Amino acid sequence: MDRSYSVSIMYILSHTGLILFMYPADIIESTNQGHWIPIMIGVIVHFIILSLFLRGLNSFPDKDIISIYLKKGKFIASIFLFPLFLYLLMAGIITVRSYSEIVTIVFLSKTPLWAIMSLFLILASYTAAQGIDGIIRTGVFLFLLLFPLLFFIMLTSFQNVDWRYVHPLMLKDFSFLKKSSYYRSYFAIGGVFLFLGYLPSTIPVKKKSILFAALLIAPIFFLSVYIPILTFGQATAPHFLFPFVMVVDAVNLIWFMFDRFTMFFLLSVVIFILLFLSLVLWMLTTTLTKTIVPSIKPVYLIMVISVIIFTISLLISDWKGIEMLFQWNTYIRFYVILGIPFSIFLLGLIEERGQGA
């Protein structure tokens, strides 16, 4: 398989895992009508920042974003790489803590939370230690194994929809822009694409294939929100912490050989989340290796970062703590997902003009 297609598959998987769990609740909480408008705004923002990012990277062949920033000086590098490192670290903490809580709530209620978090980090650390080649190979295998099942589950989730719930389609106002829940939803939209800037020159990144992958996941944003709304209605859907999980749990297939239909969905998405977490650990390690501690082996850094993430995750006592961390992370997130693509794009323009002079 063309390695550029492998990168596109990785892009699809890492987004899908983030979209199907917490994204629907954030969008549904932000407004009670015309949900397609805030979703569409997020999708458009996604395409804009992704296009700018890829355009900028194309101006620096055989260079990753760390090399690009360091080339412009340590001051420029610190302005962008330190917030990026902090954002990735917080993303790792949020991912481990929140998705461990989800697993506990749904089907491992008697298992201690620390055990689930440990398992998450051990599996993600092992995958991250294989390097980006190992992560991508794992992603391709999981895509072929699990994505057809996930696609089937999404199709069957239409079983209980009532199309009358689609109304009203239009918004009376844009008050969702004042809601913190709407900006939390960008956790699923922004940040994942940044791994494209970390890839070595041996792994090609083709702009067309990545944009096509982004186009393929765009319907998932809409389906993850509208299927719960069409199933439970505008009045009920906002009361669920994980609306799409509740939809899958309500599906009844008499001919299906297993009773727990929801388990297959959750296991598929959790595995995708583990893949995303391994990407985060790899990016954190790569940042440290290329800037501060080049002499330390990446595997040791992965172990240290995993221990830090685990320790901080243990200090978060309940879901309110997760939401507070989400809120703190929102400001850094927008600085990173807007600042890095625009800066790489501008630096790319400067580089091209310098070469043409």
| Span 172-216, pLDDT tens digits | 778 888 888 888 888 888 768 889 989 888 888 888 889 998 999
| Span 256-278, pLDDT tens digits | 655 566 777 888 888 888 999 99
Task: Quote the CA–CA distance of 253 and 255 in Å, as a whole number.
Answer: 6
Task: Give every CB contact of residue 253 below 8 A, 6+ residues apart in sequence.
Answer: 156, 261
**Average per-residue pLDDT in the chain?**
86
Q: 191 by DSSP, 3-state: which?
A: coil
| Distance spanning both ends of the chain, measured CA to CA | 39
User: Left if phi > 0, otherwise alpha if psi is -120 to 50, otherwise beta: which for 207?
Assistant: alpha
Helix (H) or strand (E) holding 41: helix 36-58
Task: Quote the CA–CA distance of 45 and 59 in Å, as a whole number.
Answer: 22
Is-contact 16 197, C-beta < 8 A? no
Window from 116-120, 123-127, 158-162 with minimum mean pLDDT: 158-162
Given a cut of 60, is residue 2 above it in pLDDT? no
Query: Domains of the chain by range and CATH?
Result: 3-356 (1.20.1740.10)
Q: Which two tokens stand for residue 21?
A: 């769990």
Q: What is the mean pLDDT of residues 246-255?
A: 74
Is-contact 127 135, C-beta < 8 A? yes
Report residue 152 CA to chain centroid gap: 22
pTM for the whole thing?
0.92
Is-contact 242 25, C-beta < 8 A? yes
Proportion of the chain above pLDDT 70, given as a percent: 95
At 122, the pLDDT band (50, 70, 90 cuts) reads very high
More confident site: 117 or 330: 117
Given a cut of 80, is residue 13 above it in pLDDT? yes
At 127, the pLDDT band (50, 70, 90 cuts) reads very high
Is-contact 97 329, C-beta < 8 A? no
| Span 47-78, pLDDT tens digits | 999 999 999 999 888 888 999 999 888 888 89
